[in-house]
Structure 1
């Protein structure tokens, strides 16, 4: 199991060192039972404040790994059975009603309410 903490209270970092070994600043590694791992994650959720936390641990899936993330824009996403870390993109409404890479002609057609061509 690997746990990465950043911008968290010192008390939380001290508590984590009871179970895991700190190999670099904010990076903790160890082998704990699933019960301890889940309880440790609960403690991180309760006390982390405005920081960020990422946990990677072994799991019985195709990758052999599972992820948990808090306070970070990157989110674990299931993609055809694989867990990928993806950063959410801005919604279409925030970009003026068009997708990035859309041609001026396509924007014009959408503004006029015309049906998009196949492949658009």
Structure 2
């Protein structure tokens, strides 16, 4: 069953933006919204996360959990999702600090 999906990108290659606009609308630069099946969402995320380069991306879609959604991240970013007993919270790292290793919320 298709569900609402939101994908936010920063500094991704043009070919990635083109792939995303085939399936989603871009209401503002770098923000993509669409109603996608799980299969299409998974394939698009595979393309984005494999081609992220120096950019960053966050994918949010509905999930059967306490928050009602899940998020996936790719690329270097200051905000890092952390899993606390099934609840995803966002931690900030200082700008001059190296990014932490990928946690369980990173897929």
For the aligned pair, the TM-score class normalised by the smaller chain equals 0.7 to 0.9
Where do 5+ consecutive residues of structure 2 fail to align? 98-107
Where do 5+ consecutive residues of structure 1 fail to align? 91-120
With CA pairs under 8 Å and 6+ residues apart, which has the higher RCO, 1 or 2? Answer: 2
Establish whether residue 32 from structure 1 lines up as the match of residue 31 from structure 2: no
Counterpart in the other structure of 1:23: 27
Higher-helix-fraction structure: 1
Establish whether residue 67 from structure 1 lines up as the match of residue 67 from structure 2: no
RMSD across aligned positions (CA): 1.7
Establish whether residue 43 from structure 1 lines up as the match of residue 47 from structure 2: yes
**Secondary structure of residue in 2 paired with 1:62:** coil
Counterpart in the other structure of 1:85: 90
Find the structure with the greater CA-based Rg.
1
Counterpart in the other structure of 2:58: 54
Residue 81 of structure 1: how far off its partner (Å): 2.6
TM-score, with structure 2 as normaliser: 0.77
Residue 35 of structure 1: how far off its partner (Å): 1.1
Counterpart in the other structure of 2:105: none
Cα shift readout 1:30-61 (whole Å, capped 9, x = no counterpart): 11011111111100012121101011111010
Residue 73 of structure 1: how far off its partner (Å): 3.0
Runs of 4+ with deviation above 6 angstroms: none
Higher-strand-fraction structure: 2
Q: How many residues align?
A: 91
